[in-house]
Structure 1
Amino acid sequence: MTTPAPLRIGLLGTGPWAARTHAPALAAHPGVRLQGVWGRRPEAAEALARTHATTAYADPDALFAACDAVAVALPPDVQAPLAVRAAQAGCHLLLDKPVATTPGGAREVADAAEAAGVASVVFFTLRFAAGVAPWVAEQAAAGGWFTARAHWLGALFSPDSDSPYAASPWRGEKGALWDVGPHALSVLLPTLGDVTHLTAAAGPGDTVHLTLRHASGASSVTTLSLSAPQEAAGVSIELRGTDGVHELPAEWGPATDSFGTATDALLEAVRTGAPHPCDARFGQRVTEILARAEAALSAAS
């Protein structure tokens, strides 16, 4: 049996997320070859490429032409138009969440992937963490859920934060709703069903409280923040229903391992042609829900 050639994958982005997670995971993955790196800062692309013994590209379209797929670690509204161009060039897509910050931008990505016949996977980190995907599948199969409660409280913007992501302009502008909201929705939607109604209320800092009604009839309440005190930070998701009370697994493993699993998912989608549950169309739906919540917050202010 002939071993398939590694998928040639290019990396778009050179920031902390790309350098700490995407690049090392791709460089170590046996099923892909890190073909090259492009970034908005050429000097950073050169440095990251040197670290992983690959090539820095000055032009993203030249990178697309040299690749079978691209992985993206860029702000969402930079990601979206580049993802469309990559799909049109025939590249499979390993995207970051959120796909975009407008429903139209996310729709263009999903439409481009479908029109080009390329596979897409959106890296909702939680969904690819060790133990979480099987847990989500089990809860979705169990059904009978009455309600759910989710907290995603980060301390990124707390006064004593030393996170390299605190300086991110798009996170500063869009806040927890758009940065960690996708994580919560990536678990709530497959277990409880699509969102049919929502309300949103602002809390301290960038904190947002969402109350959601789901297609299954269940409801959920979610609190999102990047400005919680360090002592209050943490993540939990709890489902309650006829099958009892079930909590999200607490141990997820390193982000590089999760990204490796997302890369596996892209390879499988490429091989089989079957859409992954976290594809660009699912990313579009998450974007639509977040945009509705943002509009509700604006109307209430």
Structure 2
Amino acid sequence: MDITDQLRAFVATAQTGSFTAAAERLGISNRLTSKYVAELEDRLGTRLLQRTTRRVGLTPAGERMLAEAPALLDGLDDLLSDVSEQSRGFSGSLRISAPVTFGEVYVAEMLARFAAPHLDLTIDLQLSDAQTDLAAEGIDLAFRIGALSDHSLRARKLCDIGMRVVASSEYLAHHARPERPEDLARHRCIHDTNHGPTRRWRFREGGTVREVPVPAQIMVNSARATCELALAGHGIAYGPDFVMGPEIAAGRLVSIFPPEILHDTALHAVYLDGPKLPRKLRALIEFAREDARKSCDQA
């Protein structure tokens, strides 16, 4: 059997911790995944995995193999792609993670445009507002908004996303419009907990950033939900321009404060550290960077 299939089965099993999860990632059967790993161990004459009824772990030899094998496979993929007759297009798969609303509003369509010229490339987009474990879940690239907490990952900043403070005309007709961020203390506010569990919104003043406490009557972990609640007149909401902007442009929401006092939040593409990125992943990062900057500039 091809050693590359054996190595791919081993890496997937080692990263996910089970043959079942590895088989799902590779798109093959559980039995075939286990067979490939066993054949690799026979080929090497040493055990790579410690098998238990619940999970598989790495032996010392397996740890060394896992440290080197992913880079070898990525390098092989790059080499085959570069010298093949189809080297002008990408093949294989890319597994991507993104926050739910941002993924629905922007990432899905952007990825479709990236993949369109590459008929042999498969995109697997996973939407979740939780911080995904890239290694355990086999994620090649994750889009993350805001401050980065995992410094073991490599990151590429794509652009700054503008934030907006908005309310409906109906709400403002019955409540005095805030003139300063401190005026929010006298209003009903809708807080997206994805921007932090504490009820504080960030503003710029001169060259510094400050956080202003707000009396959040409603808290929800969704930018789209905060937007819908603001549209229904339930209070003042704080959210990213990719959600609030279209409603402002359509006249359904009013932007309360000028953009220069609102604190932008960074959009990053993050990925696992390694000696060399696969060519298709490098291309996707560059495509996303250019596309995101154009989108942010037009916002």
Does TM-score exceed 0.5, indicating one fold? Answer: no
TM-score by length of 1: 0.29
Mark the structure with the bigger radius of gyration: 2
TM-score by length of 2: 0.29
